[in-house]
């Protein structure tokens, strides 16, 4: 592949760069500059922030985020399969089915282990399964 | 025939296996009896095989057990030619006597069974070493004798000195083994095989002088480690921490002569590398003189013998270096007799003196230990080179051959001669201090003669020390005729003593040297023990402080290097860099530390540095 | 063309199915640990059986490619499967104490081991760089979690370090893949082989940079210096019951991948990468040996020793195709030694603890003769003393490197071998010549470690004295 073939990509890249720089510069030049303390606060839906936004939040967010990302990525694979559906035929269908089932199985396992129980301290499963182990580990 | 010699090799192994499992459960003296029986049977079988070789029935026999490393064409096979038969006979013969002696000597020891298991293991290893028909089997034996020697030196591992001595022997031998291994790889690389037949057969045609010199110098390094030659001799005196029978068997009669055997076996390679052969002889002569001077000033009876062993091994090296392989092996054999006898005698003395090894606390023992004295006196005359005792014939033949080669070799001959004088001197000194003069015993020590099971082996060795030399006199060189085919088969050209009247003159000169040594020592030590703890005597007594120098240079230095490496790479280098960065970046670092440990980051830096290095190297191979 | 054949994935399907089944039964029924053991055992046995069948059918032939050239089935991958699944079985047996001590999470542990096994085997069977990357990640991510499975401080630290550095190495590896793709225009190893065989690159810089980064990525997995930095902390922190599996698995998978990548697609550039591999090998041998001498914890010591062993194995790779046999022999026998040694560590220090100071081995000869003999044998084997597999392995490796002309590297490695004996023998001296501290009672050894030590010891001695069955098997298996 000759270097020339990359030219559209290079042009695209340059355009994106120009657009970002130009719009930032323009707003800097055009916008009036009159700061007040309230204006310098981080924007949080128009409400005055009560505390420093950098703080700890439950690790459970990550779990949910990860489960979400897993299913998000599943779509990427399914898309590729859908494009080649005819060519791959039944074996492809089986493979993708197994793949999906594997992800479902992961979800089932995580679910049954209490990963999706949000308000855990009040849940019976937590008392029965998770709490003893946490104590044990501590 | 094949069955016989295979059995001779396997019996000690069987003994070891049996004793390793059941030795601790058997009551005294059964482990000793079993071990002695296997050793004795092994000797008898080897003798039958040996007689067959002597009788001309079979001159060479190769027994192959199995293909060991087919990829390298290495077989587990064993060669029985006159040389290996002789070595087998010496090893099993002297070995059986020492086994028997140990039954009495080790009486009451806590690990009686284990001792004999190790002894049998050693016998098996040594037999493997001397009968292997290729370098690989030789190397296996080489390592196994090292292992059993290590186990036996630190047999009384409760004593810190014994444990340390074992370690030292091990370390020093490792240095030698590196040389040996490199030599093996060079040989394999050159010949594509490790079998003696093939290597020695092709060597004269295929081996250039340069490569031959490289290989043989590496072999010499290995031999010097195992046979305690300069500069690797330091482990042997310390090895005397082992039980005395061990000193007799392993560190006097057999294992330490493995280097001599190896040089004799690979004689053709040394013949192709005259420089190396000269180095062998020079190392031997230097060691002989060096160790003899140290032996002169020792007070510990076993250390006298240890340095004496080193010195005598030097003679053997001189012999094989001068291509007098028969003479070298001959001296190996006679030395095995009289040095084993000396050690066992010393053991008997130590046994009788309740563990006392300091000769200044002995004296006057001739009366209470008549058998020990008589047998040791024989050995004393043998090592001092007085005819017709065994040592005279073998030592004299070496000196005669060395003299006969002329040129620079004459210097080596002179060194050997002076060493002979020193040998007679320090042996006489030892005899007087131990057996002569007045009793200087500590209170509460009541010396007594040793039990019969210890005395009988002494007597047998005494007889051998008298007549052993007669199998190879200039008048009737039986041993030479016996051994020659072994060397001819490997294309070695043996050096011979000069013809005519010269040998007679040389013999008288060396007898005179021996007598002068004896006379000087008698004059000095007959009636008193002079104060020998200052000045030059002290220097000699401490062995020229070589040990201390080595300790400072290698052991401390090496340990420090390892510690330094550990500290600087593992902690200071990486941690230190991280900590430095952490301090520099101050507050930021303090806030980040809980999130990211310094370690991981610094590890990542190490990986990154490696990546960049590798990339940079590849970049030099081809531009973009 | 795509050549989809699920039988080609048989071993992976077997162990993965076992893992899935195990987890489902676990959440549905909460069975006893015995049930997990049966499921895992059947899965591993099936995978092993399929690998053996693959070896019988596939040895000596050229690779059969499946799934659009993603997967190669040949003697190489089949032998890899035999090694991986044997190792997994023994590793699980040796660490079974850890499974029971984890209570209900033991099921996760077993499942992760099975999935890691699938990943390791895929590393040996990948015929495409992206496939290789995925296989590597499947195995690695399982390893990260396994290292921290006990969730105590030390294990957490080990897992996190392993993960962070591993992610770093994976990124480098991926970049290497990208560069090789840029240079050759294909990700299929077969495609790259034919492209590089037919084309002379005028400017091979991109390809060479790619090779460098591939070596870094896989060098990290096999803990070759200077990419070894994670090993001591991870070995020490990870629970002893699984350390042996982690250590051996990373080596087997990593070297399988390294051997295939370097000798199949990049064979034409042997002269370029072999010197670099030799330098990395010597660095590993020297660094590993030097640092192992100074360790007081047996697991750290074994970690540095594993760095040195990685160096020895790399030496054989300098011979290219001709060294692959030596690589496989060394890595498979070394893996058994490591698993055996860590089985003893798990028995002495407990399968769920991390650190294992050398002092706790004093007098082990009295406390547990069998464990002491087993560990002693492993030390002797790792030291390369004759009549053990360690010796035969070193011999093969050295020979390969000498044939390739790297005598200087071999001589350095020889010196290091000799120096290495110090710390291996130190363990033996501790076990047999020191009295146990205080009033140490006889050591209670479970059946798991006892079996694991027994099997690995037997293999180490038998294959050390009579290595030719394995060597012949390898010669049959490898089409080179």
Q: Which residues of C touch A108 (CB under 8 A)?
A: 24, 27
| Cis, bond preceding A44 (omega within 30 deg of 0) | no
Point out the residue among C164, C216, C399 whose CB comes nearest to the CB of B614: C216
Model confidence pLDDT, tens digit, residues B529-555: 777 777 777 788 777 777 777 766 665
C164, B600: Cβ pair inside 8 Å?
Answer: yes
Average pLDDT over residues B125-148: 89
Average pLDDT over residues C240-269: 91
**Interface-testing mutation among C1, C3, C20, C354, with chain A (most A C-beta atoms within 10 A):** C20
Q: Is B595 on the interface with C (CB under 8 A)?
A: no
B182, C411: Cβ pair inside 8 Å?
Answer: yes
Which range among A15-24, A120-129, B296-305, C58-67 shows the weakest confidence by mean pLDDT?
A120-129
d(CA B466, CA B458): 12
Average pLDDT over residues C47-56: 89
B566 token code pair: 């550990």
Average pLDDT over residues B285-293: 92
Model confidence pLDDT, tens digit, residues C331-366: 999 999 999 999 999 888 888 887 888 888 888 888
Domain range for C283: 6-474
Chain A nearest C-alpha distance from C5 (Å): 8
Average pLDDT over residues B345-364: 85
Contacts of B461 (CB under 8 A, 6+ apart): B94, B97, B337, B338, B340, B341, B344, B375, B379
Q: Which residues of C touch B67 (CB under 8 A)?
A: 468
From chain C residues 308-337, the ones with a CB under 8 A of any chain A CB are none
Contacts of B310 (CB under 8 A, 6+ apart): B228, B229, B233, B236, B237, B287, B291
Residue A41 to residues A30, A35, B272, B579, Cα–Cα distance (Å): 22, 10, 91, 36
Q: For chain A, give the percent of residues with pLDDT over 90.
A: 12
Model confidence pLDDT, tens digit, residues B401-420: 998 888 888 899 999 999 99
Average pLDDT over residues B313-328: 91
Q: What is the pLDDT of residue C205?
A: 83
If DSSP codes are grouped into helix, strand and coil, which group holds residue B358? Answer: strand
> DSSP states of B113-172 as a string?
HHHHHHHHHHHHHHHHHHHBSBHHHHHHHHHHHHHHHHHHHTTTTTSHHHHHHHHHHHHH
Q: Is the pLDDT of residue B589 over 50?
A: no
Average pLDDT over residues B49-64: 72
Q: What is the pLDDT of residue C173?
A: 94
d(CA B450, CA B461): 16
How many Cα atoms occupy the beta-carbon half-sphere of C75 within 13 Å?
17
Pick B524 or A14 by higher pLDDT. A14
**Interface-testing mutation among C172, C224, C227, with chain B (most B C-beta atoms within 10 A):** C227
Alpha carbon C435 to its chain centroid, in Å, reads: 34
Report, in angstroms and rounded to the nearest whole number, the Rg of chain C calculated over CA atoms.
21
Q: Which chains touch A (3 or more CB pairs under 8 A)?
A: C
Among candidates B425, B415, B178, B385, which has minimal Cα distance to B294? Answer: B425
Among candidates B88, B145, B119, B147, which has minimal Cα distance to B20? Answer: B119
Could you tell me the end-to-end alpha-carbon distance of chain A, in angstroms, rounded to an integer? 59
C104, A91: Cβ pair inside 8 Å?
Answer: no
Chain C nearest C-alpha distance from B215 (Å): 14
**Interface-testing mutation among B162, B222, B622, with chain C (most C C-beta atoms within 10 A):** B622
If DSSP codes are grouped into helix, strand and coil, which group holds residue B510? Answer: helix
Beta bridge partners of B325: none
Confidence of residue C277 (pLDDT cuts 50, 70, 90): very high
Point out the residue among C27, C103, C185 whose CB comes nearest to the CB of A112: C27
Average pLDDT over residues B375-391: 89
d(CA A73, CA C14): 25
Q: Which residues of C touch B189 (CB under 8 A)?
A: 402, 407
Confidence of residue C422 (pLDDT cuts 50, 70, 90): confident
Q: What is the pLDDT of residue C367?
A: 83
According to DSSP, the β-strands at C71-73 and C64-66 are antiparallel
Q: Is the pLDDT of residue B624 over 50?
A: no
Beta bridge partners of C297: C357
Q: Is the pLDDT of residue A10 over 80?
A: yes
Report, in angstroms and rounded to the nearest whole number, the Rg of chain B calculated over CA atoms.
27
Per-residue b or e along B471-496, where b marks 16 or more CB atoms closer than 10 Å to that residue's CB:
bbbeeebebbebbbbbbebbebebbb
> DSSP states of B406-475 as a string?
-TTHHHHHHHHHHHHHHHHHHHHHHHHHHHSSS--PPTT----PPPHHHHHHHHHHHHHHHHGGGGB-SS
Confidence of residue B380 (pLDDT cuts 50, 70, 90): very high
- Write down the mean pLDDT value for chain C: 87
Q: For chain C, give the percent of residues with pLDDT over 70.
A: 97
C293, B566: Cβ pair inside 8 Å?
Answer: yes
Model confidence pLDDT, tens digit, residues C444-479: 788 888 899 999 999 998 888 888 888 888 887 775
Q: What is the pLDDT of residue B579?
A: 47
C20, A129: Cβ pair inside 8 Å?
Answer: no
**Interface-testing mutation among C1, C2, C130, with chain A (most A C-beta atoms within 10 A):** C2
Average pLDDT over residues A31-38: 80
Per-residue b or e along C238-251, where b marks 16 or more CB atoms closer than 10 Å to that residue's CB:
bbbbbbbbbbbbbb
Q: What is the pLDDT of residue C245?
A: 93
Confidence of residue B560 (pLDDT cuts 50, 70, 90): low
If DSSP codes are grouped into helix, strand and coil, which group holds residue B476? Answer: coil
Q: Is the pLDDT of residue B448 over 60?
A: yes
DSSP class of A1:
-
Q: Is the pLDDT of residue C12 over 80?
A: yes
Average pLDDT over residues C414-432: 81
Contacts of A91 (CB under 8 A, 6+ apart): C4, C6
d(CA C23, CA C14): 14
| C-beta of residue C62 within 8 angstroms of C-beta of residue C74 | yes
A-to-C residue pairs, Cβ atoms closer than 8 angstroms: 30
C212, B617: Cβ pair inside 8 Å?
Answer: yes
Which range among B5-9, B20-24, B429-433 shows the weakest confidence by mean pLDDT?
B20-24
Q: Is B65 on the interface with C (CB under 8 A)?
A: no
C216, B607: Cβ pair inside 8 Å?
Answer: yes
Q: What is the pLDDT of residue B70?
A: 65
Q: Which chains touch B (3 or more CB pairs under 8 A)?
A: C
Q: Is C151 on the interface with A (CB under 8 A)?
A: yes
d(CA B253, CA B340): 6
Q: Is the pLDDT of residue C120 over 50?
A: yes
d(CA B349, CA B449): 8
Q: Is C4 on the interface with A (CB under 8 A)?
A: yes
Among candidates B136, B141, B124, which has minimal Cα distance to B10? Answer: B124
Domain-located, residue C1: no
* Structural domain count of chain C: 1
Sign of the dihedral defined by the CA atoms of residues C197, C120, C387, C458, in that order: negative
d(CA B471, CA B137): 30
Beta bridge partners of B472: B477
Q: Which residues of C touch B624 (CB under 8 A)?
A: 203, 205-206
* Structural domain count of chain A: 1
C165, B604: Cβ pair inside 8 Å?
Answer: yes
Average pLDDT over residues C27-55: 90
Q: Is the pLDDT of residue B593 over 50?
A: no
Domain range for A94: 3-137
B329 token code pair: 């092996």
Q: What is the pLDDT of residue C28?
A: 86
Q: Is the pLDDT of residue B568 over 60?
A: no
Average pLDDT over residues C422-433: 80
Domain-located, residue C480: no
Average pLDDT over residues B357-376: 87
Among candidates B267, B216, B250, which has minimal Cα distance to B81? Answer: B267
Average pLDDT over residues C149-159: 85
B618, C209: Cβ pair inside 8 Å?
Answer: yes
Confidence of residue A113 (pLDDT cuts 50, 70, 90): confident
Q: What is the pLDDT of residue C470?
A: 85
DSSP class of B270:
H
Domain-located, residue C479: no
Q: Is the pLDDT of residue B576 over 50?
A: no
Sign of the dihedral defined by the CA atoms of residues B364, B367, B371, B377, in that order: positive
Q: Is C2 on the interface with A (CB under 8 A)?
A: yes
Q: Is the pLDDT of residue C178 over 90?
A: yes
Q: How many CB atoms lie within 10 A of CB C295?
A: 22
**Interface-testing mutation among A2, A90, A91, with chain C (most C C-beta atoms within 10 A):** A91
Q: Is the pLDDT of residue C480 over 80?
A: no
Which range among A90-99, B483-492, C312-321 shows the weakest confidence by mean pLDDT?
B483-492
Q: Is the pLDDT of residue B584 over 70?
A: no
Residue B599 to residues A87, B582, C37, C203, C299, Cα–Cα distance (Å): 50, 11, 38, 39, 19
According to DSSP, the β-strands at C64-66 and B74-80 are unpaired
CATH of the domain at A107: 1.20.58.1610
DSSP class of B243:
-
- Write down the mean pLDDT value for chain B: 82
Contacts of B411 (CB under 8 A, 6+ apart): none
d(CA B514, CA B381): 9
Q: Is C24 on the interface with A (CB under 8 A)?
A: yes
C2, A136: Cβ pair inside 8 Å?
Answer: no
From chain B residues 143-162, the ones with a CB under 8 A of any chain C CB are 143, 154, 157
């Amino acid at each position: 592949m000759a270097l020339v073939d990359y030219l559209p990509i290079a042009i695209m890249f340059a355009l994106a760069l120009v657009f970002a720089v130009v719009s930032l510069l323009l707003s800097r030049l055009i916008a009036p500059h009159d700061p007040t303390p309230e204006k310098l606060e981080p924007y949080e839906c128009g409400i005055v922030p009560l505390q420093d936004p950098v703080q700890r939040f439950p690790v459970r967010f990550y779990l949910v985020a990860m489960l979400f990302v897993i299913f998000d990525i599943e779509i990427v694979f399914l898309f590729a399969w859908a494009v080649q559906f005819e060519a791959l035929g039944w074996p492809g269908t089986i493979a993708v089915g197994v793949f999906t089932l594997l992800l479902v199985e992961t979800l089932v396992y995580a679910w049954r282990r209490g990963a999706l129980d949000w308000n855990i301290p009040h849940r019976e499963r937590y008392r029965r399964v998770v709490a003893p182990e946490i104590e044990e580990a501590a | 025939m094949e069955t016989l010699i295979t059995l001779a090799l396997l019996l000690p192994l069987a003994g070891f296996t049996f004793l390793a499992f059941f030795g601790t459960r058997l009551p005294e003296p059964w482990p000793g009896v079993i071990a002695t029986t296997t050793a004795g049977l092994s000797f008898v079988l080897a003798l039958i095989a040996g007689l067959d070789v002597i009788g001309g029935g079979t001159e060479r026999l190769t027994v192959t057990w199995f293909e060991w490393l087919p990829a390298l064409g290495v077989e587990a096979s064993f060669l029985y030619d006159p040389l290996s038969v002789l070595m087998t006979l010496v090893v099993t013969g002297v070995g059986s006597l020492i086994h028997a002696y140990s039954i009495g000597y080790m009486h009451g020891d806590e690990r009686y069974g284990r001792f004999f298991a190790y002894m049998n293991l050693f016998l098996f290893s040594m037999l493997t070493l001397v009968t292997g028909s290729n370098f690989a089997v030789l190397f296996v034996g080489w390592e196994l004798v090292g292992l059993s020697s290590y186990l036996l030196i630190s047999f009384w591992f409760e004593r810190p000195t014994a444990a340390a001595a074992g370690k030292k022997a091990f370390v020093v031998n490792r240095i030698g083994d590196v040389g040996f291994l490199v030599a093996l790889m060079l040989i394999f690389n050159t010949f594509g095989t490790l079998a003696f037949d093939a290597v020695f057969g092709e060597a004269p045609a295929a081996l250039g002088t340069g490569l031959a010199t490289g290989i043989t110098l590496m072999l010499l390094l290995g031999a010097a480690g195992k046979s305690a030659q300069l500069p690797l001799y330091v482990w042997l005196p310390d090895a005397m921490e082992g039980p005395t029978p061990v000193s007799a068997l392993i560190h006097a009669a057999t294992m330490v002569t493995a280097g001599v055997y190896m040089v004799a076996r690979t004689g053709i390679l040394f013949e192709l590398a005259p420089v190396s052969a000269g180095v062998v002889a020079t190392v031997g002569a230097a060691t002989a003189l060096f160790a003899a001077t140290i032996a002169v000033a020792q007070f510990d009876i076993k250390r006298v013998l240890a340095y004496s062993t080193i010195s005598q091994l030097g003679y053997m090296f001189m012999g094989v270096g001068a291509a007098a392989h028969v003479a070298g092996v001959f001296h190996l054999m006679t030395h095995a007799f009289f040095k084993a006898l000396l050690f066992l005698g010393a053991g008997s003395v130590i046994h009788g003196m309740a563990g006392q090894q300091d000769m200044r606390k002995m004296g006057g023992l001739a009366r209470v230990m008549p058998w020990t004295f008589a047998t040791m006196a024989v050995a004393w005359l043998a090592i001092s080179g007085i005819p017709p005792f065994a040592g005279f014939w073998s030592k004299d033949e070496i000196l005669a051959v060395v003299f006969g080669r002329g040129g620079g070799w004459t210097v080596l001959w002179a060194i050997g001669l002076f060493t002979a004088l020193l040998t007679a001197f320090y042996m006489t000194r030892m005899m007087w201090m131990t057996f002569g003069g007045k009793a200087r015993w500590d209170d509460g020590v009541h010396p007594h003669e040793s039990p019969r099971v210890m005395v009988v082996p002494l007597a047998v060795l005494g007889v051998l020390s008298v007549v052993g030399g007669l199998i190879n006199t200039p008048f009737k060189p039986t041993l030479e005729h016996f051994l020659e085919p072994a060397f001819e088969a490997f294309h070695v050209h043996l050096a011979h003593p000069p013809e005519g009247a010269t040998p007679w003159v040389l013999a008288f000169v060396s007898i005179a040297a021996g007598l002068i040594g004896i006379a000087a020592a008698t004059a000095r030590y007959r009636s008193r023990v002079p104060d020998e703890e200052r000045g030059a005597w002290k220097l000699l007594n401490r062995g020229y402080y070589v040990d201390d120098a080595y300790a400072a240079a290698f052991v401390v230095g090496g340990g420090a290097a390892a510690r330094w490496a550990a500290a600087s790479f593992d902690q200071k280098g990486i941690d230190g860099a991280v900590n430095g960065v952490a301090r520099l970046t101050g507050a930021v670092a303090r806030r980040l530390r809980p999130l990211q440990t310094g370690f991981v980051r610094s590890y990542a830096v190490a990986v990154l540095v490696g990546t960049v290095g590798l990339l940079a190297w590849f970049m030099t191979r081809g531009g973009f | 063309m795509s050549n989809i054949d699920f039988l080609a994935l048989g071993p992976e399907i077997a162990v993965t199915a076992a893992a899935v089944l195990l987890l489902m039964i676990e959440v549905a029924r909460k069975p006893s640990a015995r049930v997990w053991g049966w499921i895992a055992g059947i899965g591993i046995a099936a995978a092993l059986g399929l690998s053996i069948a693959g070896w019988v059918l596939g040895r000596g032939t050229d690779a059969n490619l499946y799934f659009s050239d993603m997967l190669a089935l040949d003697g190489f991958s089949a032998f890899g499967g035999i090694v991986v699944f044997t190792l997994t079985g023994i590793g699980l047996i040796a660490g079974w104490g850890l499974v029971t001590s984890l209570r209900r999470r033991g099921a996760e542990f077993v499942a992760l081991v099975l999935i890691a096994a699938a990943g390791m085997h895929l590393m040996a069977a990948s015929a495409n760089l992206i496939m290789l990357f995925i296989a590597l990640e499947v195995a690695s991510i399982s390893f990260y979690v396994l290292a921290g499975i006990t969730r105590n401080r030390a294990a957490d630290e080990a897992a996190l370090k392993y993960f962070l550095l591993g992610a770093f190495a994976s990124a480098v590896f991926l970049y290497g893949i990208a560069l090789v793709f840029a240079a050759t225009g294909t990700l299929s190893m077969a495609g790259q082989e034919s492209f590089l065989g037919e084309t002379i690159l005028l400017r091979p810089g991109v390809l060479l940079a790619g090779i460098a980064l591939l070596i870094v990525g896989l060098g990290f997995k096999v803990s070759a210096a200077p990419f070894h930095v994670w090993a001591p902390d991870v070995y020490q922190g990870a629970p002893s019951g699984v350390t042996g599996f982690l250590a051996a698995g990373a080596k087997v998978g990593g070297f399988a991948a390294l051997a295939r990548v370097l000798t199949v697609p990049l064979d034409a550039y042997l002269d370029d990468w072999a010197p670099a591999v030799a330098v990395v090998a010597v660095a590993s041998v020297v660094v590993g040996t030097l640092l192992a001498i100074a360790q007081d914890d047996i697991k750290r010591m074994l970690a540095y020793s594993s760095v040195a062993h990685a160096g020895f194995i790399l030496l054989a790779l300098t011979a290219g195709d001709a060294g692959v046999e030596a690589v496989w022999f060394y890595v498979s026998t070394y893996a058994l030694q490591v698993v055996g040694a860590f089985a003893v560590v798990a028995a002495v220090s407990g399968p769920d603890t991390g650190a294992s100071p050398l002092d706790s081995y004093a007098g082990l000869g009295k406390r547990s003769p069998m464990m002491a003999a087993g560990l002693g044998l492993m030390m002797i084997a790792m030291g390369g003393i004759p009549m053990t597999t360690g010796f035969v392995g070193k011999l093969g490796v050295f020979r390969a490197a000498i044939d390739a002309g790297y005598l200087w590297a071999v001589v350095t490695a020889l010196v290091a071998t000799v120096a290495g004996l110090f710390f291996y023998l130190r363990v033996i001296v501790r076990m047999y010549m020191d009295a146990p501290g205080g009033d140490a009672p006889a050591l209670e050894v479970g059946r798991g470690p006892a079996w694991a030590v027994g099997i690995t010891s037997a293999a180490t001695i038998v294959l050390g004295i009579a290595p030719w069955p394995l060597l012949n098997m390898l010669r049959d298996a490898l089409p080179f």
